[in-house]
Amino acid sequence: ARLTTYVEGLVHGAARGRTAEEIVADAGVRAAFVTELDAWAKSYAAPSFGRDEKNLVKLTSFLSAKLPG
- What percent of the chain clears pLDDT 70, i.e. is strictly above it? 99
Is residue 8 over pLDDT 70?
A: yes
Q: How far apart, in whole angstroms, are the C-alpha atoms of residue 57 and residue 51?
A: 11
pLDDT, one tens digit per residue, over 19-37 is 888 889 999 999 999 999 9
Angle at 7 between CA 17 and CA 41, to 5 degrees: 50
Q: Which residues contact 69 (CB under 8 A, 6 or more apart)?
A: 2
Is the overall model pTM greater than 0.85, yes or no?
A: no
Q: How far is CA 63 from CA 4, 27, 47, 60, in A?
A: 13, 35, 16, 5
For residue 39, the tally of other CB atoms under 10 A from its CB is: 10
